A and B are shown apart, each in its own frame.
Chain A
Amino acid sequence: MDRDRRALNAALAAVPLAFLAVFFAWPLLAILERSLRSGDGFDLPWDVLTQGSTLEIAWFTLWQAAVSTGITLVAGLPLAWALARFSFRGRSLVEALVLVPFVLPTVVVATAFLALLPDGVEHTVWAILLAHVFFNVAVVVRVVGAFWAGLDPRLGDAAATLGASPLERHARLTLPLLAPAVASAASIVFLFCFTSFGVIVVLGGIRYATLESEIYTQAARLFDLRAAAALALLQLAAVAVTVVVSGVLERRLGVRFARRARPARPVGRERVAVGVIVGLSTALLALPPLALVLRSLRVGDGYGLDHFRSLAHETPALLVPPWHAVANSLLFALGAAAIALAIGIPAAVAVARGRGGVDALVMLPLGASAAMLGFGFLLAFDDPPLDLRSSPAIVPIAQSLVAIPFVVRALAPALRASDVRLREAAAVLGASPARIRREIELPLLARPLAVAAGLAFAVALGEFGATVFVARADWPTVPVAIFRFLGRPGADNVGTAMALCVVLMGLVAATALVSERALARRAGP
């Protein structure tokens, strides 16, 4: 029995490892080798790492990521509570709205921010922090919320009976129970902000650089591969440390306790709290998207649907009519989500069974510079059977590298928490392992699975940094097409870009609503 288990665990871990070895480690090693080789040996770039400018950039990268993560948690946890614990009218709509910022191309959000922010705030650290919070609230709400919904509300009731105040209950009971999910969400948000690129470039202007944006400058623009490789290794090391620390924390904090609770209608003071939290969060999250919708409808001095109609027509900015990009995006995102689930589910199971190393490895691609990985793809995948560098198939693969961590992070805490005693009780009662999986584990996992699939799909829909590097001109995705339109003068081009943004927002909101409906039906009476 024990031997079988161990073999199964090894096999589960082998799937993500093989995938990462081929599509992550190999291209990365190829570009590092090319960057650092000199003659027969290697030229280790210590001088780049000890330079004053490198230390400055590394310090800025670190603190802005830490502060962004802190603010995102503070902003996201109340909303996660309201959405996970209570049912109210418009709840699924709010849940869908939360996901919208997550898929918006950074260029577009930056445009919306530049239009909304008061003068003097643009191109400051505040603009950067604000944008990071806006983008990442979804991670906290989704990852923590999926776990929070599974906590047994009777614990809180018991504490209340014993005289604990609501605040005390949150501080001493709920937060410790939530710790693994919070740690999980925080580490993703931290990594996203740590490796932030688009936000920094557009909102930070010339003065601010993160490691990621500096790697891009060095590699793609200045073609100083040695410096780029040095910074890329530094970033990868920092990410590895973050991942290992968060993994240890998560395991130490892990509480095996979960039971599906049905959300209740808020009553009394809860009503007020939920109302305020949801109202305020919704207003803040909806403001930039609304600004984009308005701009997409603006035609000359009036309003109209002209920009949406022009999605059907040929334009010099793209090789294909813009609506093709919508079809491509859906296709690629479906493929990416499928790959992410196929690789992420075995990875999550392996992680939940104690193979923390797998968790650290699947997180690493989040920390690899998209530019260096893109260069690696060009070097590594140039021969059959992996002549992928000019093939559309590379797009969903590249997107899935970024999506897999979300699948693992959304599933692993729930898998760990799934009650051992329930399984054992079922086994004692004579249920086969397969039946236990089908009738106990899967229903408990339905929600985290749906969350994982939805996040993977959304991440793939909105992915830009890696996609723009590998997408072919005749197969553009929506974010790539938006970027192309914004790169050309003329009101029509800007208008078409805005219309595409609105379509992208609509797609992700619709996805979230549909998966929410499907879940509701499953869990229904």
Chain B
Amino acid sequence: MTTRARALSLAVALAAVAVLVAGCGGGEDEAAPTEVVLLTHDSFAISKDVKQRFERESGLRLRILQGGDANETLNRALLTAGDPQGDVLFGIDDSVLSRALEGDLLEDYRPDALTTVEGAFLPQTDLVTPIDHGEVCLNVDRGWFAERGLAPPERLEDLTEPRYRDLLVVENPATSSPGLAFLLATVARFGEDGWQDYWRALRANGVLAVDGWEEAYTQQFSGASGSPGKRPIVVSYATSPAAEVIFAARPPAEAPTAAVEDGCYRQVEYAGILRGARNEQGARELLEFMLSEPFQADVPGSMFVYPVREGVELPPAFVEHALVPDDPLSVPADEIDENRDHWVDEWTEIVVR
């Protein structure tokens, strides 16, 4: 063997070793699945004892993969449709539901536990199962308004008044799910041809639009504890005031913020079995479990959304500080799908340009 050939074969061997070493982490056992994989968004959370309960009852390890926000996670699933990264996809909301259904990435399944779900949340397809609902609402900094002797806004229309000038921060609907929900709320309230004028008035009144919820809530909103923000009105969730109490260093008797009932927009979150799942049986068991009492009761405390199962008791902090809007706004999924892109474009023209 010449030196050159020897050197080359050494290099090839090295590369092979690198590949093998790297490959060690992979290699699923396809014969007998021992785990079920849940592909979900970054806001997913589950209590340890609830997760252990599922694992004990099913004999399967529950593995969780998080793929960005709801929209990004769906895009990930669409990219790998048919050869999915997980068994169950959770976190599809109404605003992206039609894309999920058209993407041919889910399989039909009708859980037995569906009978426990309130009728209002049931979809017209077996491809997805409703798991929770959450409402996007305006939040106000109560202290800020009290200090100035100013009444916080009560209706969407109030926000265009001069006394609320430069006080509102919203999220960009092109990049943020609560941002899109709030845009849809204004569409539902002011009509397909009326919402544009409302936003023009908001812009004239100094609305600030930022890219995502994190920046809006933790950096621009004055009511979030520890925030450097200066604006006392933000688009967030009906449950955010409860979170301010639960996660306060020394829990106050009253929440420092409050959700505004008017203009709340309802989002239902669904889960579905991914087509080509490695563990389809496990996926079914997981869906049943997600509708069961223990998981549904855990949903408020871990994800700050509400259960869809009837008769599940809410934790005390939610009863006291959070809001369950009686009559939230919504836009039908097919209408959203048809119009979302041009609504967002129009919004960008009106608010950003």
Contact = CB atoms under 8 A, between A and B. Distances in A.
B50 to A, nearest CB: 11
Given A11-B8, A491-B248, A388 B301 contact: no
Interface in B1-25: 2-8, 10-12, 14-15, 18-20, 22-25
Interface band, chain A:
35 or more
A385 interface: yes
B213 A11 contact: no
Contacts of A375: 76, 79
A487 B213 contact: yes
Contact of B76 (A15, A306, A378, A495): A378
B11 A14 contact: yes
A384 B224 contact: no
Given A220-B68, A393-B25, A3 B228 contact: no
A490 B10 contact: no
A6 B4 CA distance: 8
Interface in B245-264: 246-250
Nearest to A22: B19
B42 interface: yes
A3 B3 contact: yes
B98 interface: no
Interface string B254-277: 000000000000000000000000
B165 interface: no
Contacts of B246: 490
A299 B247 CA distance: 11
Interface string A290-331: 000001001110000010000000101101000000000000
Contacts of B11: 10-12, 14-15, 18
A299 B250 CA distance: 8
A492 interface: yes
Residue among B22, B24, B68 facing the most chain A CB atoms (10 A cut-off): B22
Contact of B226 (A34, A202, A295, A384): A295
Interface in B188-219: 209-211, 213-215, 217-219
Contacts of B280: none
B269 to A, nearest CB: 16
A488 B86 CA distance: 25
Nearest to B212: A201
A115 interface: yes
Contacts of A3: 2-4
A378 B85 contact: yes
Interface string A375-399: 1001101101111111111100100
Contacts of B217: 489
A66 B28 CA distance: 47
Given A384-B27, A489-B224, A494-B226, A221 B175 contact: yes
Contacts of A6: 4
B244 interface: yes
Contact of B26 (A379, A385, A468): A385
B225 A388 contact: no
Contacts of A492: 247-249
Nearest to B220: A114
Interface in A320-379: 339, 342-343, 375, 378-379
A501 to B, nearest CB: 13
B23 A10 contact: no
Given A7-B4, A206-B352, A390 B85 contact: yes
A483 B175 CA distance: 17
Given A4-B4, A490-B225, A221 B174 contact: yes
Interface stretch (B59-67, B121-129, B145-153): B59-67
A473 interface: yes
B161 to A, nearest CB: 24
Contacts of B79: 34, 223, 375, 378-379
Contact of A394 (B18, B25, B210): B25
Interface string B219-248: 100001111100000001000100110111
Nearest to B76: A378
A489 B235 CA distance: 13
A157 interface: no
Contacts of A468: 68
Nearest to B237: A489
Contact of A11 (B7, B44, B47, B174): B7
B63 A387 contact: no
B22 A397 contact: yes
Contacts of A394: 25
A168 to B, nearest CB: 48
B95 interface: no
Contacts of B44: 473
A145 B225 CA distance: 42
B64 A319 contact: yes
Nearest to B225: A491
B20 to A, nearest CB: 7
A221 B22 contact: no
Contact of B214 (A19, A221, A317, A486): A486
B244 A490 contact: yes
A300 B22 contact: no
B66 A473 contact: yes
B134 to A, nearest CB: 13
Given A316-B301, A474-B64, A300 B250 contact: yes
Contact of A7 (B7, B65, B85): B7
A387 B24 CA distance: 9
A436 interface: no
B152 to A, nearest CB: 18
A221 B180 CA distance: 13
Contact of B243 (A207, A300, A472, A488): A488
Contacts of A221: 71-72, 75, 174-175
Contacts of B337: none
A14 B66 contact: no
A264 B236 CA distance: 58
A8 interface: yes
Contacts of B24: 393
B139 to A, nearest CB: 9
A385 B45 contact: no
Given A220-B75, A472-B65, A484-B42, A392 B8 contact: no
B12 A384 contact: no
A220 B65 CA distance: 16
B62 to A, nearest CB: 10
A223 B244 contact: no
A489 B236 contact: yes
10 smallest A-B Cβ distances: which pairs?
A: A490-B247, A7-B4, A393-B25, A391-B25, A387-B26, A18-B15, A491-B225, A14-B11, A11-B7, A492-B247
Interface of A: 3-4, 6-8, 10-12, 14-15, 18-19, 22-23, 34, 107, 111, 114-115, 201-202, 205-207, 217, 219-223, 295, 298-300, 306, 314, 316-317, 319, 339, 342-343, 375, 378-379, 381-382, 384-394, 397, 468, 472-474, 483-484, 486-495
20 contacts: A7-B5, A7-B7, A14-B11, A114-B228, A205-B210, A206-B209, A217-B175, A220-B68, A316-B47, A319-B45, A385-B27, A386-B26, A472-B64, A473-B44, A488-B43, A490-B247, A491-B224, A491-B225, A491-B244, A495-B226
Given A386-B22, A388-B25, 16 more contacts: A11-B11, A14-B11, A23-B22, A111-B219, A114-B219, A219-B75, A299-B249, A319-B51, A384-B27, A385-B20, A385-B27, A387-B26, A387-B27, A390-B37, A488-B243, A489-B236
